[in-house]
Amino acid sequence: MTLRLFIFRHGETEWSLSGQHTGHTDIMLTKHGEEEARKLGTRIAKIDFSHVLVSPLQRAKRTCELAGLIKFSHKEFGLTEWDYGDYEGRTSADIRTIRRGWNLFHDGCPHGEMPLQMSNRVDRLIALLENLDGNVALFTHGHLGRVLAARWIGLSVDFAQHFLLNTASISILSYEHNQPSQPAILLWNSTVASIPQMLAEPSFQRKPQKADAVIKPQAIERWENEGGSLISLYSGSRWRHGTDQAKRYFKPNLPLEFQSDL
């Protein structure tokens, strides 16, 4: 049976909310984090897991418990979060006040784990996981999960900075065409709320305009020079396009729907 690694990051904690690096500090989930974990359990309730492996830290164990899989679980120390050493409990912004340009995935942590150490630890974890089959649940942490994804597809730890991972998210690692020689990412950072939250951010919002459609005169002129024609009447808040060609070029704004089985 094809191996599929389900990476479940633990639910929200006070420090994940504040951006403080949380390695060995055994912090609890917030009430919202517990609710996230329950919703995660609902999403994965119909999946048949052959193995359930959990970080020994309570935020991961509690997430596993609330997701309904704790009785099937086994402790796996390889899933423990990055050891932040001297930077434990500090935010990235705070760290950069004493170490300009610091980046976890480049620079690591004094008296903690360096990127090469993290890479070697995750490679040992992957060697263990490759001996399993079926759907394998991994209840783990943000930075560990990101490094696992990077190493799974043969990238260095440095690339893990590009794989963002929300709390209580679902990600799946497996193979293309079921071929172990072609490791792939099947799903990444899927949460119930991730897309609505993302689209609610100011950078995704449409900026106010004087009209719903603003067409630069140069664009109209270029289009007409290329054989197009545009008969437009502005009425109320909509452009009405008078030709079939115009209808092909100017589409109404349609709502986007994001659907997922998970």
Cα gap 167→12, rounded to integer Å:
6
Report the C-alpha gap between 254 and 147 in whole angstroms: 37
Q: Count Cβ atoms within 10 A of the Cβ of residue 81 and give its class: 0-12 exposed, 13-18 middle, 19 or more buried.
A: buried
Q: Out of 10, 141, 143, 241, which one is annotated catalytic?
A: 10
Of residues 81, 141, 143, 241, which has the active-site annotation?
81
According to DSSP, the residues that pair with 172 across neighbouring strands are 6, 187
What distance, in Å, lies between the first and last C-alpha atoms of the chain? 21
Per the listing, tokens 């191996």 go with 3
Instruction: Please say if 10 is a catalytic residue.
Output: yes
**Total residues belonging to the chain:** 262
Bridge partners (DSSP) listed for residue 254 = none
In what order do the strands lie in the sheet containing 49-54?
A: 73-75, 49-54, 135-140, 4-9, 170-175, 183-190
Catalytic site residue 24?
no
> CB of 55 within 8 A of CB of 125?
no
- Residue 132: name the closest of 177, 85, 173, 187 by CA: 173
Q: Could you list the active site residues? A: 10, 81
